[in-house]
Amino acid sequence: MTEIAFVLNNKKISVEAEGATRLLDILREDLGLTAVKEGCGEGECGACSVLKDGLLVNSCMVPIGTVAGCSIETLEGLRNSDEGRCIIDAFADSGAVQCGFCTPGMVMASIALLRVNAHPTIDEIKVGLSGNLCRCTGYDMIIKGVQLASERGEGIW
Amino acid sequence: MVKTFHPRTLEEALKIRKDEKAIPLAGGTDLMVRFRSWAGTQPDFPWPVMFINHLSEIRYIDIQPKEIRIGAGATLSEVEQCSEVPKVLRTAVSQMAAPALRNLGTVAGNICNASPAGDTISVLYALNARVELTSLHGARQISIMEFISGPGRKDLGDDEIMTAVMIPIESFTHTLYRKVGTRKANALSKLSFCGLAKIKAGRIDDIRLSFGAVGPTVVRSVETEKKLIGLSIEKLKELYSEIRPDYVAMVQPIDDQRSTAVYRKQVSLNLLDQYIESLTMES
Amino acid sequence: MKKRISDSIRRVDAFDKAGGITKYISDMDFEDLQYGRLVRALRSHARIKSIKSPKLPDGYYFITKDDIPTGGKNEIQQISNDWPVFVKDEVLFYGETVGMLVGPDRQKILDLEDAISIEYEELEEAFSIDEGLALKSGKIYGEDNCYGDYHLNKGDVKKGFAEAVTVFEEEINTGYQEHVYMEPQGLVGYYENGKYVIIASSQCPFYIKKAISPVLNTDQDNIVIKQATTGGAFGGKEHFPDIIAAPLAVAVDVIRKPIQVVFDRKEDLSFTAKRHPSRGIFRTGLDAKGNIVAMDVDVTINAGAYMSCSNIVLQRAIFSINSVYDIANVHVHGRSVATNAFPSDAFRGFGAPQGLFLAEMHMSHIARNLGISPVEYKRRYFMKKGDTTITNGIMHDEVKLEEMLEKVYAAGSIEEKLAEYTPGSGRGIGISFYQHGAGFTGNGEQEIIKAKLKMLKHGDGNVEILLSNVEMGQGLQTTFPKIAAQVLEIPIEMISCDNPDTSKVPNSGPTVASRSLMVVGKLVERASRELKERWDEDEEVEVLVNYIHPEGCEWDQATLQGDAYPTYGWGVCAIEVEVDPATAEVETKGIWTAHDVGVAIDEMIVHGQVNGGVIQALGYGSLEKLDYKDGKFQQNTLADYIIPTSMDFPMMSSQLIENPYENGPFGAKGLGELVFDGGASAFADAVEYAIGKKVYKIPVTPEYIMEVKNRD
Ligand SMILES: Cc1cc2nc3c(=O)[nH]c(=O)nc-3n(C[C@H](O)[C@H](O)[C@H](O)COP(=O)(O)OP(=O)(O)OC[C@H]3O[C@@H](n4cnc5c(N)ncnc54)[C@H](O)[C@@H]3O)c2cc1C
Ligand code: FES
Ligand code: FES
């Protein structure tokens, strides 16, 4: 076990862990951040999406050892921010949520997209969400949710 | 328990590599998935692992007069977004996986994984890329075609780390990259094709043709390309049917869970035909 | 002005789900939680000679059939009870449960699993429908390996064939499909206050209760099932949770600590039930003008090693075999075949997608042979109100297919496009028609389910709806309260409808067969009306309502004759494709749909179902190849089992037709499965048009298209 220090949702923390342990497991099991979901554990579904140094990553593929000194943001840290609230509301108003299992990951991917591209086209939204699988919605309403967040979030993004 | 190392410098990493025989983990997108285990347990690595993606010495993309050096720590996203990187490579990278994965994975990892379906590899073959391998004794450079010898097999010493990929700066008049994946995004390749050619005054000055995922390694034949170089477009039309059988013989795909040998072969040849035809049409 | 019931509102669960606040089974905390892992027999057909397990450290258990409590049965009580909790002597499919390892540390469990060795005597295996029918591995079920063997007769086929001048024969197949609910299977079991409690990600809490009661040899009252918010199900959590709950319950009985069993994705893909593969062999007689005078169809489905719900799936498949068409003389022979494959099970549509695909393709093929456009040909046979159904019942619905077709044509400019693209040009449009009988077959509601529902008005004026149907994404926790709010004329915020707990809610039946909104929603409506009348009776008012069977719906389950369903949902789907000449990859250019779901209780929710269902069906029809080889599913990661991403299909047009059904709440009919029923055949039809050749199976992959193009 080694001590690994990093910034989680804007707070400095450190965890005792084996370096190869998945960030996903540390977040969910050690830190109780269950907005981060495991849908596949193989990088395919995006349910485990978090931001690492501001970039969208799949936490199931990140060994905690590579997180030392980094900043990690999860939905828990973002849901009460302007960005988080804007997306969550837009998703709720667009019918983007069904079973909800993919949704936290979708929200993270949307935030990552809108931060670098405040007015994405439909095709750009599709690319931005292409690593996040949803089996319920067929994606249209999620795409509309991102569009709505882009419209409503003037100044936020 | 898997032993892991977090070196602070490249030098330290090379020492660990030599002494502990630790395997480099860059983005981890191959390694973490290949050795994944049950949720809540650690990946099942059979050897010690060393994290390298944070090392500033390898985290760069450097544009030099004659070549582009992509540091082994540069992520796929960084490569995709760097406008100096050859367009054909950026196109291939932009079609790999999805944005989140590209923020982690590296070109070096894609090469060192040495999968016949590695998407940057067929393009790097065509681009005559070289790789730099560094140990405590210094660095050596070899061509990517020499580096990879089979699925998962590569010329990497157990004290070496790949530190950079070098791509000569060249220009081509006809470029085609085509990935045929399992779906439109976040897909692994069933096959891929890369064609690069320089045509001047109706004459082929240079041509490179490579095929991914249709053999144990990427298929490219410099020998066959030589038969094409120097031909006029008119001659190409005439001789193509004699040269094509070389590729019919070289493209030897297999059946697997993603596609069939028959499909892979036919589509590879279709794409080749299409590319050759595009050369003859535009001139 | 009072709002229309169809006007959309924000889903009650959306905010917490989008914010990551909602807890799913694997998100829940338990003190002293133990982990369970199923130990499986890795043979498709074998006798177990011995099982050697290592010495277990303290706190670790290897639960096997020897741990079933005295008097308990090694049988899971489903529709049938042939599926054992733990392999009896003979392993019948690859991955069958042998035992469950339980303990606090997952790595130790994995190490123990590695140390268990099972010795087998290998036996002959049968995987395909034909191998099953030929008894290649002996008798798996009965004398002939047919769990179900049915005949339907409508009109007089013999006479029909006598009038035929040509007989057209062909075989069409559909493949396996995996649900890929994004949340894998998961349950937690514990023992509390003398009761066995199971928290489950499932569709049917009462099914689980019934399934495990004989295993534990305890009264159903001693078992409590609590529904966990379910991250997608699609039929995959209808019966399959029983298969996990049974060994889990045995483990809880022994260990008496909370135990969690959550599959990881690979385990879920490798070892859970899939949609039944099917085969239809058609013999159709045509007269000199090309009219259908007789149709004889042989339908078989690969049911796998245990019966589960296969016979009911088969029934739906054969009831759907004439799609939306009234064919005068028909004989259908349907069989669900036992093999050593993983048992197939419920999946959105429950046999109808298979039957409808076979039917739609066959009708298109007849038309193409005759040189008539499939749409024109199919329109001649559209079922109308008063027509005779394939089970010799009466079509009670006003059928609005023509109107729907018109809407789809207008939205997609289909007429113009068809005029422009010629068959074989690489571009094509496919159109499918479909119906889905809403609710349980025949008198199942009346005879088997007997739904009950309770509504409570509390002292503070808040209302609670108590029922057993679960929210799994389809929106019930919004639509049920919405129905009540509309009747009671109170804000929806005052009405709750929580995840069911079997110790608190009456059994309103399973969340299956597109029955929940239509059947149970009607009970909500009725209970609300009663509550409204009795609102001032007391501080607290309790209303209990029971299911009432619609009049004029006669059914005989023994002969499968009469009104198989009280009403039907209807659909039209058009797909435009372009096929790449070099790679045979298909680009879907447009999707236009129209559906008759009676009345939408919430338009946004309905459009969400349409969108999700059609895309899932397009996956089924084009991408989701699942091969079964040597007893194993070959595509067992999400890298290899390919479901649609956001980039695979264009955004779609979805239109609704109002056609109220009097026995549904505010006129609503079932729709969750209907929307899955047409995507695959529309896609295949479009590809046929584009390449100018016929396709005979799904998924229509580029590999298959290449093969078809090379034909001749
Ligand atoms: C969901 C998903 C989708 C994917 N899609 C694609 C795709 O479309 N196309 C594609 O080609 N691949 C794909 N991959 C595979 C993988 O992402 C790529 O191969 C990626 O480029 C690997 O880079 P990495 O840095 O993550 O490698 P790692 O996992 O870190 O390493 C891979 C291998 O390279 C070795 N290695 C890494 N860096 C060095 C170094 N500097 N020196 C020596 N050895 C080194 C490692 O030891 C290991 O053997 C996908 C993977 C996943 C999980
Ligand atoms: S759980 Fe990480 S991508 Fe699916
Ligand atoms: S809402 Fe269920 S998976 Fe996306």
Q: Is C565 left (phi over 0), alpha (psi -120 to 50) or beta?
A: beta
DSSP characters for C217-270?
T--GGGEEEEEPB-S--TTTTTSHHHHHHHHHHHHHHHH-S-EEEE--HHHHHH
Are A67 and A91 members of one domain? no
Are B111 and B180 members of one domain? no
Q: For the domain that residue A129 is a member of, what is the CATH number?
A: 1.10.150.120
Residue A131 to residue B99, Cβ atoms within 8 A: yes
**CA nearest neighbour of C227 among C37, C401, C471, C62:** C471
Q: Which of B111, B133, B168 is the last residue of a domain?
A: B168
Task: Measure CB to CB from residue B100 to each of A46, A63, A69 and give the nearest one.
Answer: A46
Are C431 and C455 members of one domain? no
Q: Which two tokens stand for residue B247?
A: 């590729």
The Cα of C395 is separated from the nearest Cα of chain A by a number of Å equal to 31
Residue C645 to residue B185, Cβ atoms within 8 A: yes
The pLDDT of residue C3 is 82
Task: Measure CB to CB from residue B28 to each of A62, A128, A131 and give the nearest one.
Answer: A62
Q: Is residue C234 part of a domain?
A: yes
Q: For the domain that residue B49 is a member of, what is the CATH number?
A: 3.30.465.10
Q: Does B35 contact chain C (CB < 8 Å)?
A: no
Q: Is residue A157 part of a domain?
A: no
The pLDDT of residue A1 is 87
In whole angstroms, give the CA distance from residue A45 to residue A134. Answer: 8
Contacts with B, C 30-89, CB within 8 Å: 35, 37
Shortest CA distance from C706: residue in chain B: B263
Q: For the domain that residue C87 is a member of, what is the CATH number?
A: 3.90.1170.50
Are A61 and A31 members of one domain? yes
B71 has a pLDDT exceeding 80: yes
Integer Rg of chain A from CA: 15
The pLDDT of residue C2 is 65
Are C58 and C95 members of one domain? yes
First to last CA, chain C: 66
A15 has a pLDDT exceeding 90: yes
Q: Is residue C445 part of a domain?
A: no
Q: Which of B143, B168, B193 is the last residue of a domain?
A: B168
Q: Which of A74, A108, A128 is the last residue of a domain?
A: A74
Angle of helix B119-126 relative to helix B87-94, nearest 10 degrees, comes to 170
Are A99 and A147 members of one domain? yes
Are C426 and C497 members of one domain? no
pLDDT tens per residue, range C287-334? 999 999 999 999 999 999 999 999 999 999 999 999 999 999 999 999
Are C305 and C431 members of one domain? yes
* 8 Å CB contact between C591 and C607: no
Q: Which of B117, B144, B168 is the last residue of a domain?
A: B168
B1 has a pLDDT exceeding 90: no
pLDDT tens per residue, range B223-267? 999 999 999 999 999 999 999 999 999 999 999 999 999 999 999
Number of structural domains, chain C?
3
Residue labelled with tokens 């096959």: B191
Are A69 and A119 members of one domain? no
- Report the helix count and the strand count for chain C, using DSSP H and E: 18, 27
Number of structural domains, chain B?
2
Are C531 and C574 members of one domain? no
Q: Is residue C154 part of a domain?
A: no
Q: For the domain that residue C502 is a member of, what is the CATH number?
A: 3.30.365.10
In whole angstroms, give the CA distance from residue C436 to residue C569. Answer: 5
Q: Which of A45, A74, A103 is the last residue of a domain?
A: A74
The Cα of B272 is separated from the nearest Cα of chain C by a number of Å equal to 10
Are B160 and B68 members of one domain? yes
Residue C107 to residue B41, Cβ atoms within 8 A: yes
The pLDDT of residue B50 is 98
In whole angstroms, give the CA distance from residue C429 to residue C418. Answer: 7
Task: Measure CB to CB from residue A47 to each of C18, C182, C607 and give the nearest one.
Answer: C182
Are C623 and C527 members of one domain? no
Q: Is residue A10 part of a domain?
A: yes
Ligand 3: residue of A91, A94, A106, A136 to mutate (most ligand atoms within 8 A of CB) is A136
Measured in degrees and rounded to the nearest 5, phi and psi for residue C496 equal: -120, 155
Residue B183 to residue C623, Cβ atoms within 8 A: yes
Contacts B266 to C, Cβ<8 Å = 706, 710
In whole angstroms, give the CA distance from residue C680 to residue C276. Answer: 15
Residue A130 to residue B99, Cβ atoms within 8 A: yes
Does an H or E element contain B71, and which?
strand B67-71
Residue B99 to residue A25, Cβ atoms within 8 A: no
Whether A46 is in the pocket of ligand 2, judged by its Cβ within 6 Å, is: yes
**CA nearest neighbour of C642 among A109, A49, B186:** B186
Are C534 and C624 members of one domain? no
User: Which ligand is located closest to the Cα atom of residue B187?
Assistant: 1
Looking at residue C445, what DSSP letter applies? I
The Cα of B93 is separated from the nearest Cα of chain C by a number of Å equal to 17
Are B119 and B214 members of one domain? no
pLDDT tens per residue, range C474-515? 999 999 999 999 999 999 999 999 999 999 999 999 999 999
Instruction: State CA C123 to chain mean position distance.
Output: 32
Q: What is the domain range of residue A137?
A: 79-152
pLDDT tens per residue, range B175-207? 999 999 999 999 999 999 999 999 999 999 999
Indicate if ipTM > 0.95. yes
Q: Is residue C368 part of a domain?
A: no
Q: Does A93 contact chain C (CB < 8 Å)?
A: yes
Are C574 and C611 members of one domain? yes
Are A68 and A86 members of one domain? no
Contacts B40 to A, Cβ<8 Å = 25, 29
Q: What is the domain range of residue C233?
A: 32-122+187-261
Number of Cβ atoms within 10 Å of the Cβ of B183 = 18
Q: Is residue C226 part of a domain?
A: yes
Shortest CA distance from C644: residue in chain B: B183
Are A105 and A48 members of one domain? no
Q: Which of A56, A74, A92 is the last residue of a domain?
A: A74
Does an H or E element contain A114, and which?
helix A103-116
Q: Is residue C685 part of a domain?
A: yes
Atom 33 (ligand 1) nearest CA: B113
Q: For the domain that residue A38 is a member of, what is the CATH number?
A: 3.10.20.30
Q: Does B29 contact chain A (CB < 8 Å)?
A: yes
Contacts B260 to C, Cβ<8 Å = 703
Are B207 and B134 members of one domain? no
Residue B32 to residue A46, Cβ atoms within 8 A: no
Task: Measure CB to CB from residue B101 to each of A58, A112, A126 and give the nearest one.
Answer: A58
Q: Which two tokens stand for residue B89?
A: 């490579």
Mutate to test the interface with A, among C24, C105, C182, C653 (most CBs of A within 10 A): C182
Weakly modelled stretches of chain C, pLDDT under 50: none
* 8 Å CB contact between A54 and A115: yes
Q: What is the domain range of residue B106?
A: 4-168
Number of structural domains, chain A?
2
In whole angstroms, give the CA distance from residue B57 to residue B73. Answer: 8
Q: For the domain that residue B248 is a member of, what is the CATH number?
A: 3.30.390.50
Number of Cβ atoms within 10 Å of the Cβ of C547 = 18
Q: Is residue C346 part of a domain?
A: yes
Instruction: State CA C503 to chain mean position distance.
Output: 27
Q: What percent of chain A has pLDDT over 90?
A: 99
Are B153 and B24 members of one domain? yes
Q: Is residue A25 part of a domain?
A: yes
Q: Is residue C134 part of a domain?
A: no
Are B149 and B24 members of one domain? yes
Strand pairing report for C628-629 and C586-596: unpaired
Are A85 and A129 members of one domain? yes
Please list every protein residue whose CB sits less than 6 Å from any atom of ligand 1.
A 42-44; B 23-31, 33, 52, 72, 96-97, 101, 104-106, 108-110, 112-113, 118-119, 156, 161-162, 188
Are A83 and A147 members of one domain? yes
Does an H or E element contain B89, and which?
helix B87-94
The pLDDT of residue B282 is 59
